[in-house]
Structure 1
Amino acid sequence: MEVDDLSLYRTKFSAAEDELLRKTVQKFGPRKWNSIAKHIPGRTARQCRDRFQNYLSPDLINGPWTQEEDQLLIQKVNEFGPCWSKINKFFVGRSPNNIKNRYNTHLIKIKNQTKKHQKKLVTKVQPVETHEGTEFHAEDVLTSKIWDEINTQDFFSPNFELLWFE
């Protein structure tokens, strides 16, 4: 069956399409995407493959992330950068797409919130007079040290307190 022009627009898979895709993958196996797509009206081989591999595969874990998984993800992003297919090898049952989405939607927010929190703390520090009579601006020292820590690859190191939000 040919894919018509309407299918070029991105539309969500329906529950019926998901079920048909599962059954068709069972029949043909999870590699023959051109054959599978012929049985899923209006869907390309790539759409079928992506949907199955990222959301429908029985091997996937689609449940909530644990704090341990988040810490491992942060560690691996620090190690490899945003190379999701490399990082995926450390996560049994999580798709590269799921891993990327977790990092980009959840962990980046935590990092930004922590930066804002640290900035607020630094601005509340008052100057202190030293024994030589000059003002010592702790804010200058703290700002430098905190921003050095925040802007390093080790931002989420075990020594740096991670604010956990669900």
Structure 2
Amino acid sequence: MSYPIMKKITEADWDRLIKELRYDEDVVYAKKIFWNKSDKEIMDTFESGFAFTERSEELLYMPAELFNYYYHYFPEFVIRGNYDRLDTPSVANSFIQLLEEKLEDHSFHYEGPLMLANNALDFIWDNIDRFNYAPDIYGDFLPRIKALKHSIQHYSIARH
């Protein structure tokens, strides 16, 4: 089965969505971070200290059209591993929590972002000792990863 190709997001798309959301402050702020930035600039914002938690929230509050376009940066960030060793549980938790919420509200409209999510889950799984070293704070990631992989496997892409 083939899926539609994502269209490029334009400034007009951002402005239309901001207007539809009645100038939602989260989306207005996200535009400053994501719109008209190079891949490197966006990745640098993920890799700047603990900023990945902010990027996770921005992706969470983005309308699906924007989320599907910009989501790929988060799994890429997870897999790159350019974060402090002590932040690994927080990285995994932020990523997993975003994925849980976006799967639940059926925000994924394309197969590509789901494949990237699955790859990042595999990466966390393969490095579980590194990510799962603070279960007293974040819980055990393994059951959450298993549940997410099952959800992704059975996720139905709706045409948009």
State the TM-score, normalizing by the size of structure 1.
Answer: 0.22
- Bigger relative CO (Cα 8 Å, ≥ 6 apart): 2
Larger-Rg structure: 1
State the TM-score, normalizing by the size of structure 2.
Answer: 0.23
